[in-house]
A and B are shown apart, each in its own frame.
Chain A
Amino acid sequence: MSELPVQRPSLIQRILPHPALSAMLVVVWMLLLNDLSWGGLLLAVIFAVIIPLITSRFWPGNPRMRFGPPLWGYVTIVLWDIVIANFQVAWIILFRRNRDLRSSWLVIPTDLRSPEAITALAATISLTPGTVSTDISADGRALLVHILDTDNPDAEIARIKSRYEARLLRIFP
Chain B
Amino acid sequence: MLEIIVEYVIVLLLVVGGGFLLVGSWGLARLPSLMTRLHGPTKATTLGVGACLIASMIFFPAMEGTYSAHELLIALFLFLTAPITANMIAKSHLHRQGRNIDPNPADDIREGLPQPSGGKGWATFDDSATLDQKVVSPVDQP
A binding-site residues for B, Cβ under 8 Å: 5, 9, 13-14, 17, 28, 31-32, 34, 56-57, 60-62, 82-83, 85-86, 89-90, 93-94, 98, 101, 103-107, 109, 113-115, 122-123, 125-130, 132-142, 144, 146, 148
Contact = CB atoms under 8 A, between A and B. Distances in A.
B58 interface: no
Given A56-B140, A138-B123, A133 B39 contact: no
Interface residues of B, number: 66
Contacts of A114: 135
Interface of B: 20, 23-24, 26-27, 30-32, 35-36, 38-40, 42-44, 46-48, 50, 67-70, 72-73, 76, 79-80, 82-84, 86-87, 90-91, 94, 107-108, 112-124, 126, 128-132, 134-140, 142
B122 A34 contact: no
B73 to A, nearest CB: 5
Contacts of B129: 138
A144 B39 contact: no
B116 A83 contact: no
Contacts of B131: 115, 140
A86 to B, nearest CB: 4
B91 A123 contact: no
B87 A138 contact: no
A134 B87 contact: yes
Nearest to A137: B116
B90 A134 contact: yes
Nearest to B114: A107
